[in-house]
Amino acid sequence: MGRNVARRGVAVACAAALATSGCSTVGSVFGSSKQPGTPGYVGGFIGAVVADEPQAALIGRATLASGGDAADAVVAMAYTLAVTLPSRASLGAGGGCLAFSPDRKGPGGGVPQAILFPSHPGGGAQAGAGGDRPAAVPMLPRGMYLLHVNYGRMNEAQLIAPAERLARLGAPMSDALEHDIAVVAGPLAGDPQARSVFFDNGAPLPPGAAVVQPALAATLARIRVDGVGAFYTGPDARRFAEAASAVGGGITPQAMQAAIPTLAPATVLPARGNDRVAFLPMDGGAAARLWQQAGGNPAAMRVIGADRPASTTFAAVDRQGNAVVCAVSLNNLFGTGRIAPGTGVVLAASPATMPAPLLSAAIAFNPNLPAFRALAGGSGQQGAPAAAAAAIGQALDDTASPAHPQPGAVPDPGRANVIACTRYVPGNPASCGWAVDPRGQGLALGGG
């Protein structure tokens, strides 16, 4: 993380400032304007964010500083990741989130609940180009909509706008995206749309180069102006389905309309004292089982499989103790390896033809206070459950450094992002810490 920020910190920070404020004046960039919706509106402790790609974390933090809550920050990060880490989190991705509000009269009644938007088959794998690359229906926009309508505070259009500007003006190539492109550069370059975005004269764009995505910017603009619903119904859905089918995706307008996210109970287990841990029910209960079998001891967690990581996690906690952690994937690095022409959307691989990765996350909370205690997001395909279980166990260990996961505590190929507050929020924000997995290329930010 330090190497990445040191190497390109100025370029990334400028891009994030441009995305969040428009860089219209020096004052607006640094938050001297104290109007709601502008960085610097919130003083003191604003909360914390973590993401596997630094520009997304910067925009998430700016959202908190602008008066947004944890859900607002996560929605802004999700759309930013669709621009800056489309290998794992494009608009085509599916996944799930855990959301917690300490307000017993709020959503969930003071208990975390799950927002599930898993990948859905496109419904017509044989259509277009022989249907040689069956794709999944894009679920990220609908998932973020359901999260926002239940837990968000700001206008959703404000949260999409930073990503739209980054796509239009160009986002610096981060270490995370550079790494993913290097893994699949040969096959990815075979798609004309991907080649025009991520390559220059046949070679991958170099570190720090501007990744300009005008087609994706136009798609984000339509979602921002017309709303998420318009993307899944009517002319926009037909156009997207036709574009996806033109590159073998086989997505139908009917499948677009029918793929609906859901709210679901989290799997809640006891922890130390009055604390409880809620798990995202998208890994077949694997993280929860590991937690129970190990008695919450991170050293006893063991990976249940191994594979190349192709998922990502991101999370936020605000000053009121609201917390959200999400895990998303395209079911393969860069999904089908193709971009739907004219949309800029990297298509996820259909779960009908490729097993979906395990997506794991956890939130620790105290229902009696009620208050937030810790969260962890686990990625790494089959290694995700062990990563999430080990990381949340370490975060709840008062004798350890709670928000700094060590490689030995999170078994390969798993990776973990963590935010922990040993004395709870609301309560004592000075007790909070945050960290991304040191083996990744992400960024954790928080404080005042």
Nearest to 48 by CA among 40, 58, 39: 58
Q: pLDDT tens for residues 49-106?
A: 999 999 999 999 999 999 999 999 999 999 999 999 999 999 999 999 999 999 999 9
Distance CA 86, CA 169 (A): 16
pLDDT recorded at residue 6: 31
pLDDT value at 269 more than 60: yes
pLDDT recorded at residue 292: 80
pLDDT value at 440 more than 50: yes
Distance CA 93, CA 106 (A): 28
Q: pLDDT tens for residues 131-167?
A: 689 999 999 999 999 999 999 999 999 999 999 999 9
- Measured over the CA atoms of residue 332, residue 191, residue 188 and residue 138, the dihedral's sign is negative
Q: pLDDT tens for residues 202-225?
A: 999 998 999 999 999 999 999 999
pLDDT value at 189 more than 80: yes
Angle at 332 between CA 7 and CA 50, to 5 degrees: 45
Tokens matching residue 86: 């489309």
pLDDT recorded at residue 25: 25
Q: What residues contact 45, with CB distance under 8 A and at least 6 apart?
A: 319, 429, 430, 432, 447, 448
Across the strands, what pairs with 48? 317, 446
pTM for the model: 0.89
pLDDT value at 386 more than 60: yes
Host domain of residue 415: 2-447
Do 109 and 175 form a contact (C-beta atoms < 8 A)? no
Distance CA 97, CA 271 (A): 21
pLDDT recorded at residue 404: 63
Nearest to 120 by CA among 260, 248, 280, 4: 260
Q: pLDDT tens for residues 20-42?
A: 433 322 222 233 346 666 666 66
Specify the range with the lowest mean pLDDT, choosing from 73-82, 169-178, 304-313, 367-376: 304-313
pLDDT recorded at residue 331: 93
In this structure, what DSSP letter does residue 382 have?
G
pLDDT recorded at residue 2: 34
pLDDT recorded at residue 205: 96
> Residue 312: which H helix or E strand, with range?
strand 311-318
Do 381 and 358 form a contact (C-beta atoms < 8 A)? yes
Residue type present at position 164: E
CA dihedral 293, 299, 305, 310 (to 10 degrees): 120
Across the strands, what pairs with 376? 362, 418
Instruction: Count how many domains the chain has.
Output: 1
